Amino acid sequence: MSDIVFVNPPYETIEAGKEYVKHVINRSPSLGILFLAAKVREGGFEPKIVESDLQNYTNEEVAQIILDQNPKFVGFTLFTVGVLNSVEISKIVRAKNPDIHIIVGGPHISSMGVETLKKFDIFDVGVVFEGELIINDLLHALQDKTPLADVDGIVYRDASGEVKVTHAPEQIKELDKLPMPAWDLLPNFPDAYLPAIFDYPRAPVATYSASRGCPFKCEFCDTSTFGAKVRYNSPEYVYNIMKYLSDTYGIKHLQFVDDLFVANRKIVTELCNLLIEKPIDMTWSCTARVDTVKPEVLAKMKAAKCWEISYGIESGSDEMLKAMRKSIKSQQSEDAIRWTNEAGINVKGLFMLGYPGETRETIQTTKEFVSRLTLTKMNLSKFTPYPGSPIYKKLYNTSIRDEDWERLNGMNFVYTADGFTEDELEEKYQEVIGSFYQRKSIMFHYTKMALANPTHLIRLLKMGIGVLKTKVGLKAY
């Protein structure tokens, strides 16, 4: 039995009859939960992790797993899209275990913890900011029945039922002092946790975040959890993490998922030097801003086995980039992509369509811009005003609204720019993304990847079999 069950709730319910898509979508675990599980284990508590979407669990199945463990605590990590499912799970659990403490954290709670606890009385406590600093103090306070007012970094209800906020804790200054993520608590790790198809050259794959914080002020982004101050793991620590993953789990590719991995050139260069001097049988990929890379750093990254960089480009229109407060120009994106190509590193472009102020002209500008770029991959998200972001408050003049929470996942046009209907934006979306993926060079690239890497080919075959079974009325998986 476990003392605390950490739950990543259902976010993306797969439509009935289309279960076959699970073979190609992202199946990476929540790093936040892995860090928290490791931290509570240091504090003497026994954790369990439930990755709902990765197992395709229903709310009822998640609730039963929690009840079977009979824990003192359950902790949900929340993005807005998962709140309502967490409420439903909590109600089922509370009905059969009225004494359980239900704790919520994650980006949604860091940006609007007070509003969420006022709206949903099923949640007992919210953890804001970086949970590793808070979680053990909170669990001991709940267990020992000491005042929650003495625990920093939480939202709670006092004896009268009023929602209160305690003092904000200091940020974690030295990331190297955090425990290693509890990968050992994931059933069948790493084989069951592949990223989206074609997002890696070899398997098995793991993810890691080597920095926290972002000083930039993009209007569409919520930085409530980690704040503006950027903090980094040391190069030696990151190298040791990579070596551990290689030696212990046979990891062949590591995805760095932090936004500013490349921003500190000194740290990146030192890490690359370590990887060159003491090679590990592992490639890696990362995310970067286009204004943080230079040719000499990219050359060093390539020598250290960097396989791909994902750039947040967002739009080909400088007018739209200015509206987003992205603090870059389209020419900087072109330069960074050219330099990355010259270094021999693959480039993934991350774009957004439908931001306020978007017009047919700016969409056409982006489409033409994409056609000029030498990308190997393109992600196009549908603009989503996330609670906690500056643009959310500007659009709605409030910090929280009831509607559309289950659609806030970047895959729905929950907001339509002036002059468009949702159907018109969807048509433009298909036009832009189709113009990229229908290129012969792109189709050839993915065909080559599928043939070169057995895991990609197997995943495609499993999806194809699922599609055929669905057409003839058999179970899709």
Convert the pLDDT of each residue in 316-338 to its tens digit: 999 999 999 999 999 999 999 99
CA pseudo-torsion sign 270, 274, 277, 281: negative
**Looking at the structure, do residues 204 and 92 belong to the same domain, yes or no?**
no
- Rounded mean pLDDT of 227-245? 94
User: Does some domain include residue 449?
Assistant: no
Question: What would the two tokens of residue 391 be?
Answer: 């643009």
Return the higher-pLDDT residue of 383 and 12: 383
Instruction: Calculate the CA 205 to chain-centre distance.
Output: 15
d(C-alpha 152, C-alpha 344), whole Å: 47
Whether the bond into 10 is cis, omega within 30 of 0:
no
- Rounded mean pLDDT of 156-171? 94
Please answer whether residues 46 and 2 qualify as being in contact, where contact means their C-beta atoms are separated by less than 8 angstroms.
Answer: yes
Helix/strand/coil (H, E, C) string of 293-356? CCHHHHHHHHHCCEEEEEEEEECCCHHHHHHHCCCCCHHHHHHHHHHHHHHCCEEEEEEEECCC
d(C-alpha 444, C-alpha 160), whole Å: 65
Range of the domain at 228: 194-438
Picking from 306, 294, 333, 34, the residue whose alpha carbon sits closest to that of residue 185 is 34
Question: What would the two tokens of residue 70 be?
Answer: 């009979």
**Looking at the structure, do residues 274 and 232 belong to the same domain, yes or no?**
yes
Answer whether residue 442 shows pLDDT above 60: yes
Answer whether residue 474 shows pLDDT above 60: no
* 101-105: strand order across its sheet: 47-51, 4-8, 73-77, 101-105, 125-127, 154-157, 163-165
Question: What would the two tokens of residue 475 be?
Answer: 């179970």
**Looking at the structure, do residues 198 and 118 belong to the same domain, yes or no?**
no
- Here the CATH number for the domain that contains residue 370 is 3.20.20.70
pLDDT of residue 399: 47
Instruction: Calculate the CA 17 to chain-centre distance.
Output: 26
Answer whether residue 14 shows pLDDT above 70: no
pLDDT digits 0-9 by tens, 21-63? 788 888 999 999 999 999 999 999 999 999 998 888 999 999 9
**Looking at the structure, do residues 373 and 245 belong to the same domain, yes or no?**
yes
- Rounded mean pLDDT of 343-361? 97
- Here the CATH number for the domain that contains residue 48 is 3.40.50.280
pLDDT of residue 473: 67
Which of 102-111, 307-316, 402-411 is predicted with the least confidence, judged by mean pLDDT? 402-411
Long-range contacts of residues 442-450, Cβ cutoff 8 Å, at least 24 apart: 442/376, 445/376, 446/198, 449/198, 449/201, 450/198
**Looking at the structure, do residues 142 and 201 belong to the same domain, yes or no?**
no
Answer whether residue 228 shows pLDDT above 80: no
**Looking at the structure, do residues 253 and 136 belong to the same domain, yes or no?**
no
pLDDT digits 0-9 by tens, 100-128? 999 999 999 998 899 999 999 999 999 99
User: Does some domain include residue 119?
Assistant: yes
pLDDT of residue 13: 55
User: Does some domain include residue 470?
Assistant: no
**Looking at the structure, do residues 233 and 103 belong to the same domain, yes or no?**
no
Answer whether residue 400 shows pLDDT above 60: no
- Rounded mean pLDDT of 238-254? 98
User: Does some domain include residue 85?
Assistant: yes
User: Does some domain include residue 154?
Assistant: yes
pLDDT of residue 202: 94
387: pLDDT confidence band, cut at 50, 70 and 90? Answer: confident
d(C-alpha 177, C-alpha 171), whole Å: 13
User: Does some domain include residue 161?
Assistant: yes
What is the DSSP secondary structure assignment for residue 4, as one 8-state letter? E
pLDDT of residue 18: 67
The DSSP string of 377-393 is EEEEEEP---TTSHHHH
**Looking at the structure, do residues 93 and 204 belong to the same domain, yes or no?**
no
Burial of 381 (0-12, 13-18, 19+ CB in 10 A): middle
- Rounded mean pLDDT of 161-176? 94
Answer whether residue 429 shows pLDDT above 80: yes
**Looking at the structure, do residues 129 and 228 belong to the same domain, yes or no?**
no
Question: What would the two tokens of residue 225 be?
Answer: 């959890």
User: Does some domain include residue 286?
Assistant: yes
**Looking at the structure, do residues 236 and 362 belong to the same domain, yes or no?**
yes
Which pTM does this prediction carry?
Answer: 0.92
Beta bridge pairs of residue 125: 103, 156
User: Does some domain include residue 443?
Assistant: no
**Looking at the structure, do residues 207 and 269 belong to the same domain, yes or no?**
yes
- Give how many domains the chain has, as a whole number: 2
Whether the bond into 190 is cis, omega within 30 of 0:
yes
